[in-house]
Structure 1
């Protein structure tokens, strides 16, 4: 992603519904971990790590993103916060085995070139007994509920974001997986016997799944 595109993405993601979505995920994460190492895969602009730090400054924060330009934006946004930000792919990281107390990812899994390999990498770097929390959009949403929530949020946006927002969301839904496809994907990995999937709302929009993957051995 070019640096100008990364800057535009950061600007677009500052809109109120997306900021609320980030706050929702951050609150969920800090309710599940009091101390230790937390990795955000597909960290993008780094604002989830910023919110997590605001809620719990004791956590050791790590961010991974495939885009060098986005990592540059994240470093700027997190310049006053101790964090380990790296450019890299989800399926091949250089973190040690059994390293993280929690791994999270928001709206990124459906973009991975090799999702099963990425999930196996999460299994490798998670500590035994710990979990990853993936927040992903899914294709087979309730269209009426989605449209109603979208209309409510559009009223809060400036004209440019009001134009771009629906396009971005509908594009995400078009290329996302169905819920049953996520299930089949996870069942082909080491998380086959230790996962849950539930439909949730983030920022009051009913287009999200919370996927919990727990590392169990034996």
Structure 2
């Protein structure tokens, strides 16, 4: 895998585009600069890797638009050292962004093909998240609670198990809705166990499937 001056130049252009779209957190932008997105894509997509597009990564799944990754990361309000549960490892790109920001990442992937590919690419960066092959709906109750929960696939509803595994004061970012589009939700767990829910626009994700691993 090579990261040429051309790739780095394209990455800078992408970062400028993210700034124009309202991503102002410099730590997030620096993470995007440090993690070459083209490493996570097939060679056929290499020249388009830094456009704001989603691409197929196998097993019927996609790598999200860079803006979507940056926006979800922004909503998490991540602090270094926080324990983050990621639902949907996918290509591993979002996982690496979280690791670069200093999170302790626990990531679940239900597609074995993607789980194995992501494990290999994440190891290339010398990050050490806890990667799990399993059902994201169930979360990781034995390792809970988590400071933050990030869901990178479209859920028909908010899984109760994931709320249960969120610390009081913790934040979950999840796209919710059936069909082609979902509404991005930021859910904060309050001290009394109730939740505060804010909406942040419409996005499009592959569906989150329950009780299924492949």
Q: TM-score range by the shorter chain?
A: 0.5 to 0.7
Correspondence for 1:207: 203
Secondary structure at the counterpart of residue 82 of structure 1: coil
Correspondence for 1:135: 175
Select 2:104's aligned residue among 35, 41, 60.
Answer: 60
Correspondence for 1:86: 132
Contact 2:145 2:166 in 1 (8 A): yes
Secondary structure at the counterpart of residue 160 of structure 2: helix
1:99-124 deviation per Cα after TM superposition (whole angstroms, max 9, x unaligned)? 211101123314xxxx56xx111022
Q: Hey, what's the Cα distance between the residues in 2 that align with 1:93 and 1:21? A: 22
Q: With CA pairs under 8 Å and 6+ residues apart, which has the higher RCO, 1 or 2?
A: 1
Q: CA 1:108 to 1:65, structure 2 compared with 1: closer, same or farther past 3 Å?
A: farther
Alignment RMSD, CA only?
3.5
Secondary structure at the counterpart of residue 127 of structure 1: strand
Structure 2, unaligned runs of 5 or more: 1-39, 53-64, 206-214
Q: CA 1:28 to 1:123, structure 2 compared with 1: closer, same or farther past 3 Å?
A: closer
Aligned residues: 143
Q: TM-score, normalised by structure 2?
A: 0.54
Q: CA 1:25 to 1:93, structure 2 compared with 1: closer, same or farther past 3 Å?
A: closer
Q: Hey, what's the Cα distance between the residues in 1 that align with 2:196 and 2:74? A: 21
Correspondence for 2:37: none
Q: Hey, what's the Cα distance between the residues in 2 that align with 1:198 and 1:208? A: 14
The alpha carbon displacement at 1:19 in A equals 2.4
- More helix by proportion, 1 or 2? 1
* Structure 1 stretches of 4+ moved >6 Å: none
Correspondence for 2:196: 195
Q: Hey, what's the Cα distance between the residues in 2 that align with 1:91 and 1:107? A: 11
Structure 1, unaligned runs of 5 or more: 1-8, 140-171, 201-205, 210-218
Q: TM-score, normalised by structure 1?
A: 0.53
Contact 1:33 1:102 in 2 (8 A): no
The alpha carbon displacement at 1:53 in A equals 2.3
Contact 1:96 1:125 in 2 (8 A): no
Q: CA 1:192 to 1:87, structure 2 compared with 1: closer, same or farther past 3 Å?
A: same
